[in-house]
């Protein structure tokens, strides 16, 4: 579908008064409007429990997008926003919503296209989906699409139950499960780097790649998310979704075509080929951690167990690292190392592909250590690619030294880099589900992590074991050292 067309739809945001809507959704829709990716034939209905008016919502939207733009543009944009006080459990609220949507579709000449965005507590997802259908809100002559934020369940059985509820009202091709990492420019660029470059794809196998490392670190702590995080932890919050998606993109076979069905099919094959971790093997393949007090940017920060709304004897992991093995022809024997955590040295997400050394290297780096070739894909905050090669520097000695070939896609034009939510909202409006998680991907990811989380839940011995401002516990370094490797902190 062409991305330059302007989709016509009503966007209904459940949870319109919440933090996600203010921080991400309103600014993203505004940028789509400002950039001409949606025209005048759209409306946004904010749904929430608060007794707001249209003007209350419009003022909130203005505050969330406040820049130096002119007032007329603000007023034109926010005039498309309407508020509807709502009780999720009351069928009458849905009937009133349906009347409002019909009115707006007439006003803005929208051909009954409706996008329902659930930006609220997941316990209401199933109720909303089923009642939208039972009260006729999805029975239109246009399309209806349901956008769901994570978490999609907290383990495989709960995810299956939720999926079953939602599937009573929406078909799989109407369901768009948001993983905002899939909206990031450089995550989408993984496919391009692999499949559009003859120097990489032939080498993208166990014959030439030693290991692949994925690091997603945050310098922040749990902040105001402690209640959610206590139930989730780093494994469910990051590994089950964002990191597993990156593994699938890195390891998938070239699809027959670059369309939604074929790309998803190849990602699912990777997740099926993941070697399961038995409960008695968890400690061999995975490390968990919890941050101690320390310093970030020279300022003292508390330990996780001293944060607000965290139990003093909490067993929740704020750090995970692990070794994944993919048992297929392409990747047999190549470890995929992952790590993610809070209160680490820096906010950064990057992928490091380490290539194997050539059999007999005539040139040695400093102190007689060979320098492997590395391909680094920078996801955030910088977006770009670095290739580490060996070459003789001008005026240098006889041995080779590593040099960097750098490309940064957002260094010169940072303000115009599409935000992940902006890209994903636009994709949903266009009916492009490529960068959303299919149910099969969600189910396979949960089935992989469940044995790990169950083992950790039964073993309540976790205590703070890495200093805030570090790159995680020593056991994480040991995980790679056992294989004669180390983390690339570059």
Residue 235 DSSP code? I
Which residue out of 30, 80, 180, 242 is catalytically annotated?
Answer: 242
Alpha carbon 73 to chain centroid, angstroms = 31
Q: Are strands 374-380 and 384-391 parallel, antiparallel or unpaired?
A: antiparallel
Residue 242 is a catalytic residue: yes
* Number of residues assigned to the chain: 490
Contacts of 213 (CB under 8 A, 6+ apart): 336, 337, 338, 339, 351, 352, 354, 487, 488
Give yes or no for a contact between 236 and 173, defined as CB atoms under 8 angstroms apart: no
**Buried/exposed code over 122-133 (b: 16+ C-beta within 10 A; e: otherwise):** beebbebbebbb
- d(CA 124, CA 122) in angstroms, rounded, equals 5
DSSP characters for 115-179? EEEE-S-GGGHHHHHHHHHHTTTT--SS-EEEEEPSPS-SSHHHHHHHHHHHHTTS-GGGEEE--
Cis peptide before 151 (omega within 30 of 0): yes
Q: Determine whether 70 is exposed, middle or buried from the number of CB atoms within 10 Å of its CB (0-12, 13-18, 19+).
A: exposed
Q: What are phi and psi of 259, to 5 degrees?
A: -125, 170
Q: What are phi and psi of 145, to 5 degrees?
A: -135, 140
Q: Are strands 286-289 and 144-148 parallel, antiparallel or unpaired?
A: unpaired
Q: What are phi and psi of 358, to 5 degrees?
A: -75, 155
The residues that are catalytic are: 242
């Amino acid at each position: 579908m062409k991305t330059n067309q302007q989709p016509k739809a009503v966007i209904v945001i459940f949870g319109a008064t919440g933090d996600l809507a203010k921080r991400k959704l309103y600014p993203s829709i505004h940028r789509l409007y400002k950039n001409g990716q949606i025209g005048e034939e759209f409306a946004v209905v904010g749904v929430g429990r608060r007794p707001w008016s249209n003007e209350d919502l419009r003022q909130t939207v203005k505050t969330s997008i406040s820049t130096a733009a002119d007032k007329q543009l603000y007023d034109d944009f926010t005039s498309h926003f309407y508020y509807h006080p709502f009780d999720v459990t009351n069928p009458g609220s849905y009937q009133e919503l349906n009347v409002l949507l019909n009115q707006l579709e007439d006003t803005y000449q929208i051909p009954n296209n409706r996008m329902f965005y659930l930006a609220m507590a997941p316990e209401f997802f199933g109720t909303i989906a089923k009642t939208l259908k039972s009260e006729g809100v999805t029975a239109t002559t246009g399309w209806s699409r349901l956008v769901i934020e994570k978490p999609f369940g907290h383990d495989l059985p709960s995810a299956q139950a939720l999926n079953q509820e939602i599937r009573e009202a929406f078909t799989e091709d109407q369901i768009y499960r948001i993983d905002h990492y899939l909206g990031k420019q450089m995550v989408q660029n993984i496919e391009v780097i692999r499949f559009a470059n003859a120097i990489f794809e032939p080498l993208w196998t166990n014959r030439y790649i030693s290991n692949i490392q994925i690091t997603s670190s945050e310098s922040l702590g749990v902040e105001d998310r402690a209640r959610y995080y206590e139930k989730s932890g780093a494994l469910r919050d990051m590994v089950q979704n964002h990191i597993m998606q990156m593994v699938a993109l890195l390891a998938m076979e070239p699809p027959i075509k670059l369309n939604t069905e074929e790309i998803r099919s190849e990602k699912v094959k990777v997740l099926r080929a993941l070697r399961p971790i038995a409960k008695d093997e968890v400690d061999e393949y995975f490390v968990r951690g919890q941050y101690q007090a320390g310093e970030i940017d020279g300022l003292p920060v508390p330990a996780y167990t001293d944060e607000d709304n965290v139990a003093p004897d909490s067993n929740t992991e704020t750090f995970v690292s692990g070794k994944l093995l993919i048992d297929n022809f392409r990747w047999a024997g190549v470890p995929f190392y992952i790590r993610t955590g809070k209160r680490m040295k820096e906010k950064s997400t990057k992928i490091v592909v380490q290539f194997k050394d050539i059999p007999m290297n005539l040139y040695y780096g400093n102190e007689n250590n060979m320098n492997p070739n590395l391909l680094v894909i920078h996801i955030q905050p910088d977006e770009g690619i670095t290739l580490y090669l060996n070459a003789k520097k001008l005026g240098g000695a006889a041995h080779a030294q590593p040099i960097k070939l750098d490309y940064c896609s957002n260094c010169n034009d940072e303000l115009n880099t599409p935000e992940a939510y902006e890209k994903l909202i636009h994709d949903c409006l266009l009916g492009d589900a490529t960068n959303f998680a299919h149910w099969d991907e969600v189910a396979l990811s949960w089935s992989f992590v469940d044995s790990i989380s169950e083992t950790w839940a039964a073993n309540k011995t976790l205590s703070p074991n890495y200093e805030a401002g570090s790159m995680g516990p020593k056991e994480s370094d040991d995980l790679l050292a056992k294989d004669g490797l180390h983390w690339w902190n570059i």
